[in-house]
């Protein structure tokens, strides 16, 4: 049962910033889709509707005592695996990837997005039960085994970006749980080496990997986009041109030429940061990063004040998810990260991602409200 006294601990700064990010996203989406057939109105309306649904979901995740999520962790975990498996069997294919389920005319939120919340809840429950100062390799392996089934099912869709986020949130949570940074770095280096070796073997020896050819080209083209400027390197080249042309103050909303002339592919989803850079300039793009870092810091402060280990790990999982997604999305638009198809949190167009982010926000606010008992 929710006690109204808990509202005294509600961190309104975090909530206001999340809503501000969402409104900025709606404004940039409005600009990015202005030249689409039918105009921007349908996109703006759908994003606003997703925002309203997201706020409702956020409230639900905030009012239920987060200790209940710990008891339901196995149910969440098994449920998301069933949904991910169902996607592969009866999912709807869009642009070469099968990521959606649909019941009649009613689409279900993207299961890979829902899986992020489920994994955070389940992994936090697993890690919080292990009060250890030293983790051996067996324990670390058991922790990563929690995410391997989800990674495999998502890769088969195929969706490399989301699988990377699964690893990122697991690494953040395991580090806070006590796993040594050196061991995590060693595992990261091993994973990077394995991925590089698999890509090399695929390109040179025909090794089959669970990625489509265009996704492989995205992973490799960011190193030398000029080799195929009208093909695999096109997205990155146009993105860099757009951000560079914004200069210091930007060209203004609805005034970006790369945007309005539709040179930037996926400019309302994966490459929305390119539109921000062109139309709001270096100042606007940098301010967005600074405010987002401040947003992350405030969430981390809630983790540090959590009443128990489980609550702290929940928040760390959410922060790890948001921080890695933001870094990869912004990084791929300026050429320091490969294109993996990840949306910018709260800003990119997409109902499933936005609702998931609000659910995650609900978990953070939940832990913050229950960080201490209120006696009066």
| Model confidence pLDDT, tens digit, residues 104-163 | 555 567 889 999 999 999 999 999 887 655 677 788 888 888 899 999 999 888 888 899
Q: What are phi and psi of 370, to 5 degrees?
A: -105, 25
pLDDT in tens, 163-220: 999 999 999 999 998 887 888 888 888 877 887 787 778 777 777 777 777 777 777 7
- Residue with the two structure tokens 């405030």: 298
Query: Hey, which bits of 210-317 come out as E strands?
Result: none
pLDDT bin (cut points 50, 70, 90) of residue 374 is very low
Whether 376 is in a domain gets the answer no
Listed residue (152, 21, 155, 76) closest to 314, CA to CA: 76
162-200 exposure pattern, b = at least 16 Cβ within 10 A, e = fewer: bbbbbbbbbbbbbebbebeeeebeebeeeeeeeeeebbe
Q: Given a cut of 90, is residue 97 above it in pLDDT?
A: no
Q: What is the percent of the chain with per-residue pLDDT over 70, rounded to a whole number?
A: 92
Q: Given a cut of 80, is residue 323 above it in pLDDT?
A: yes
346 versus 99: which is more confidently predicted? Answer: 346
Neighbours of 8 (CB within 10 A): 10
The conformational region for residue 95 under phi > 0 = left, psi -120 to 50 = alpha, else beta, is left
Least confident of 40-44, 148-152, 234-238: 234-238
pLDDT bin (cut points 50, 70, 90) of residue 335 is confident
pLDDT bin (cut points 50, 70, 90) of residue 375 is very low
Listed residue (148, 190, 109) closest to 358, CA to CA: 109
Query: Residue 213: what pLDDT?
Result: 73
Whether 186 is in a domain gets the answer yes
Q: How many domains does the chain have?
A: 1
Query: Residue 132: what pLDDT?
Result: 59
Q: How far apart are CA 328 and CA 278, in angstroms?
A: 19
Q: Are 146 and 74 in contact (CB under 8 A)?
A: no
Whether 374 is in a domain gets the answer no
pLDDT bin (cut points 50, 70, 90) of residue 278 is very high
Query: Residue 1: what pLDDT?
Result: 59
Query: Residue 297: what pLDDT?
Result: 97
Q: For residue 131, what are the CA distances in angstroms to 121, 174, 371?
A: 17, 12, 20
Query: Residue 219: what pLDDT?
Result: 72
Q: Given a cut of 70, is residue 2 above it in pLDDT?
A: no
- List Cβ<8 Å contacts ≥24 apart for 214-223: 214/96, 215/158, 215/160, 218/338, 218/339, 218/340, 219/160, 219/338, 219/339, 219/340, 220/338, 221/338, 221/339, 222/332, 222/335, 222/337, 222/338, 222/339
Domain that holds residue 199: 4-369
């Amino acid at each position: 049962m929710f006690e109204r006294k808990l509202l005294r601990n509600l961190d309104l700064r975090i909530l206001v910033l999340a809503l501000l990010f969402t409104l900025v996203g709606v404004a940039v989406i409005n600009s990015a889709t202005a030249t689409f057939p039918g105009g921007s109105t349908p996109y703006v309306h759908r994003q606003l509707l997703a925002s309203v649904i997201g706020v409702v979901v956020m409230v639900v995740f905030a009012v239920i005592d987060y200790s209940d999520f710990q008891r339901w962790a196995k149910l969440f975990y098994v449920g998301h695996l069933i949904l991910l498996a169902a996607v592969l069997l009866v999912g709807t294919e869009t642009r070469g990837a099968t990521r959606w389920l649909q019941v009649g005319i009613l689409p279900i939120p993207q299961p890979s997005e829902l899986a992020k919340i489920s994994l955070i809840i389940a992994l936090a429950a697993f890690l919080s039960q292990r009060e250890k100062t030293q983790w051996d390799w067996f324990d670390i392996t058991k922790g990563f085994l929690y995410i391997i089934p989800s990674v495999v099912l998502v890769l088969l869709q195929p969706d490399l970006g989301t699988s990377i986020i699964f690893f990122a949130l697991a690494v953040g949570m395991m580090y806070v749980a006590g796993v040594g940074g050196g061991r995590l770095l060693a595992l990261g280096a091993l994973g990077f080496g394995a991925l590089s070796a698999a890509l090399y073997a695929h390109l040179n020896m025909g090794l089959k990997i669970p990625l489509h050819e265009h996704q492989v080209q995205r992973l490799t083209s960011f190193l030398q986009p000029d080799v195929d400027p009208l093909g695999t390197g096109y997205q990155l080249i146009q993105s860099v041109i757009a951000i560079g042309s914004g200069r210091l103050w930007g060209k203004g909303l609805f005034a970006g030429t790369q945007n309005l002339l539709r040179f930037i592919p996926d400019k309302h989803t994966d490459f929305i940061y390119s539109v921000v850079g062109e139309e709001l300039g270096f100042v606007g793009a940098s301010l967005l990063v600074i405010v987002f870092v401040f947003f992350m810091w405030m969430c981390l402060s809630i983790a540090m004040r959590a009443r128990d280990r489980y609550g702290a790990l929940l928040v760390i999982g959410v922060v790890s998810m948001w921080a890695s997604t933001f870094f990869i999305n912004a990084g791929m638009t300026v050429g320091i990260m490969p294109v993996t198809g990840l949306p910018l949190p709260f800003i990119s167009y997409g109902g499933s991602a936005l609702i998931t982010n609000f659910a995650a926000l609900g978990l953070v606010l939940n832990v913050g409200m229950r960080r201490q008992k209120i006696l009066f």
